[in-house]
Amino acid sequence: MHTERVIIIGAGPCGLAAAIELQQAGLDPLIIEKQNVVHSISQYPVYLQFFSSPELLEIGDIPFTTAGDKPSRIEALNYYRSVALRREVRMHTYSEVTRLVPLPNGRFSLEARNRYGKPLRYEAERVVIATGYFDHPNLLGIPGEELDKVSHFFREAHPYTRTRVAIIGGSNSAIDAALELERVGAEVTVVYRGADYASGIKPWVLPLFESKVAKGHIRMMFASRVIAIEEESVTVSSAEGEERLPNDFVLALTGFHPDRRFLSDAGVRIEPEGWPFFDEQTMETNVPGVFLAGVVASRREANEIFIETGRFHGRKIAAHLMRESESR
């Protein structure tokens, strides 16, 4: 069994930022990550560029320099990996925490398993949950969603060349994917429940997309939803009725949500509105010694907390633990 003062669950940017803040407070936390370091970013589209400028993504007071105004996915991977290595952040990767249990002595037991299913056990005085949300897509709940042709992630367009692709959603990720797919020769239909384009679409991208739609290169279906997915087709419902479209692949880009069940099983109170309770000043939950960092602390929308804001959660936690230590 591993015994630690502080364990952080999740090695995303906000988990790394918390680890570095705790290091600077005289602690040496251990991060447990079920995949690789900054796994969510490694799952982003291959050629993605961030909206934020590099200085807004910096952690640990280490400068983030990029070739352009906005960092690319590969630059972000290199940056966060380099920061973790330079600061010698302790990590157990490819190990998933499955259960967090408060102990009578005020400490916490963490049950985990490695990539081969071998059980692992940890104990800690304090726990920071920084698990993100990228592993929990918002499911459609329709027949056929479990088929292999359906994905909630878009990595790159090349595999879809000369195929018929239905994209479900109207966010920036859906618009960007549609443009990339059209460039490689895919036949693209975007199915979106909204009556018009989402207000958050990047203003420099929307005119290009609208032009592709106007020319018939991309089909845009507003006020519509996919109600069934079959092996060679999808069924779309709209005000005009139901339409069955020939289809090879479905990209359900409907967003993600944090894992609330893990929190509630650990005793964290989930408010009636559906989000976890925590102190805004300290990030501590109703379970003394359990803290939140990053998007897991989001309320209405998972994307209300970005790296540029979530990276400061660790600073609040470290300050609280320092005050706690001084008062003993």
Per-residue pLDDT at 163: 98
| CATH code assigned at 6 | 3.50.50.60
Q: Where are the beta strands (DSSP E) in the chain?
A: 2-9, 30-32, 90-92, 95-102, 108-114, 119-129, 150-151, 164-168, 187-191, 218-221, 225-229, 233-238, 241-246, 249-252, 290-292
Spatial contact of 249 and 86, defined as CB atoms under 8 Å apart: no
Q: Report the pLDDT value the prediction gives residue 328, as an integer from 0 to 100.
A: 64
- Total residue count of the chain as it appears in this document: 328
pLDDT the model gives residue 259: 75
Q: Per-residue pLDDT averaged across 196-202, rounded?
A: 89
d(CA 268, CA 275): 10
Residues 275 and 200 in one domain: no
Residues 87 and 107 in one domain: yes
Tens-digit pLDDT profile for residues 270-327? 988 778 999 999 999 999 999 999 988 876 554 444 677 888 999 999 999 998 877 7
Q: Is 216 within 8 Å of 136 (Cβ atoms)?
A: no
Q: Residue 87 domain-assigned?
A: yes
In this structure, are 225 and 261 located in the same domain? no
Query: In this structure, are 88 and 130 located in the same domain?
Result: yes
Between the alpha carbon of residue 37 and those of residues 13, 60, 193, the distances in Å are: 9, 16, 35
Number of structural domains, the chain?
A: 2
Closest CA to 303 of 141, 52, 132: 132
Q: Which of 252, 269, 284 is the last residue of a domain?
A: 252
216, 296: one domain: no
- 280 and 237 co-located in one domain: no
Is residue 69 domain-resident? yes
Listed residues 210, 237, 252: the one ending a domain: 252
Same domain, 78 and 178: no
Percentage of the chain exceeding pLDDT 90: 76
Residues 121 and 201 grouped into a single domain: no
Domain of 60, in residue numbers: 2-136+256-326
Per-residue pLDDT, averaged over 232-251, amounts to: 97
Whether residues 245 and 310 share a domain: the answer is: no
Is the same domain home to 238 and 129?
no
Does 122 share its domain with 261? yes
pLDDT at 296: 87
* Residues in CB range of 111: below 8 A, 6 or more apart: 97, 98, 99, 100, 101, 119, 120, 121
Residue 193 predicted with pLDDT over 80:
yes
Query: Which of 226, 252, 278 marks a domain boundary?
Result: 252
The answer to the question of residue 145 being in a domain is no
Whether 132 and 30 map to the same domain: the answer is yes
